[in-house]
Structure 1
Amino acid sequence: MARFDLQHIDSGHVGGSAQTDILFEMGIMYATGRDCAVDLVAAHKWFNIAAIKGSDRAAELRAELAQSMSKSDLATALREAREWMTSH
């Protein structure tokens, strides 16, 4: 299974746009179930983080996902994104 290593994402090993691309790809991976189970909460989380980092396409896909998610799932995704941003 392909997994992205986010351990060094903020330590200079990945540049600005490359970092955003990795975050976007994490969203795609979870949204489509590529090499993992489909997880819309995780997909929204990663699209949200990529959008915050400047990805317009991630913002579009985040909005599309939000339309099909429950309020509870959406709140969880937003909380997880906020927690990730705070710790990274």
Structure 2
Amino acid sequence: MARFEILDAGFGTMGSTAQADILLELGMMYATGRDCELDPVAAHKWLNIAAIKGSTRAAELRSELSATMSKLDIARALREAREWMTMH
């Protein structure tokens, strides 16, 4: 948890490529259950934000993940991503 608090402190000062890479890793963490519980909604949210920040790999992975999710879960992930983007 501490690593995300550290990232938040300087998040706005990083280049967009670095931001996208970090967000991609966060999405992958939730998609694979690495160091956390498996959470496809959170994974989609972070991959979507990384794609918005310019990561083509995140966009590809988000598309693959979407194929395994319900429309309700995708809508929830999109809403959460939109809320995060509004706040940050």
TM-score by length of 2: 0.90
Cα drift, residue 82 of structure 1: 0.3
The equivalent of 1:51 in structure 2 is 51
The equivalent of 1:76 in structure 2 is 76
Deviations 1:25-84 (A, max 9, x none): 000000000000000000000000000010000000000011110111000000000000
Return the letter of the residue paired with 2:27. G
Q: % of aligned pairs identical?
A: 70
> 1:20 and 2:20 equivalent?
yes
Where structure 1 has 5 or more consecutive residues not aligned to the other structure, the ranges are: none
Where structure 2 has 5 or more consecutive residues not aligned to the other structure, the ranges are: none
Return the letter of the residue paired with 1:47. L
Alpha-carbon distance between aligned partners in 1 of 2:33 and 2:74, rounded to the nearest angstrom:
18
Return the letter of the residue paired with 2:52. I
More helix by percentage: 2
Aligned length: 86
CA RMSD of aligned residues (A): 1.5
> 1:33 and 2:48 equivalent?
no
The equivalent of 2:8 in structure 1 is 7
Return the letter of the residue paired with 1:7. D
TM-score by length of 1: 0.90
